[in-house]
Amino acid sequence: MSNIIILSIHKQHSDNILAGKKIYEFRKNKPKKENLPYLVLLYETQNGGGAGAIVGACKMSNTITFTACELETPVMDIWGETLADGACLKPEELKQYANGKDVYAWCVSNPIRFKEPLPLSRLDLTRAPMSWHYL
């Protein structure tokens, strides 16, 4: 299995990752840990003015699992603020995204913005993944 992932992401979040502000990308599933680290190609969706192309890359070195119960504990009220800050979200947005389910913080680092967006066709892809997939 490849250790390269293509991740569909909205422009505001790709901008924050590529600026080094967003160190956690929350998803409702995660890749297999045995292939860490991953190279994550950031496909910026056209939603919200995005490029509709791969605009950069980052490294994903780990994932942190947060169960639905953990997100509702009083400790999470304090920890969640720090966590949400690292995800460039408000704590309420994080809880709303989780919607009572487990979520995974993808720990991202080493962002690189490409000089020119890379069209999916350069990777022999005809469409972007709904969330993410292995290349």
**Where do the domains of the chain lie?**
4-115
Helix (H) or strand (E) run with residue 25 in it: strand 24-27
Q: What is the mean pLDDT of residues 72-101?
A: 81
Strands 103-118 and 24-27: antiparallel
Query: Which pLDDT band, with edges at 50, 70 and 90, does 68 fall under?
Result: confident
Token pair listed for 129: 């993944």
67/39 Cα distance (integer angstroms): 25
Q: 76 pLDDT exceeds 70?
A: no
Lowest mean pLDDT among 2-16, 54-68, 84-98: 84-98
Q: What span, in angstroms and rounded, lies between the C-alpha atoms of 19 and 78?
A: 25
Question: Is-above-0.85 flag for pTM?
Answer: yes
4-115: CATH number:
2.30.130.30
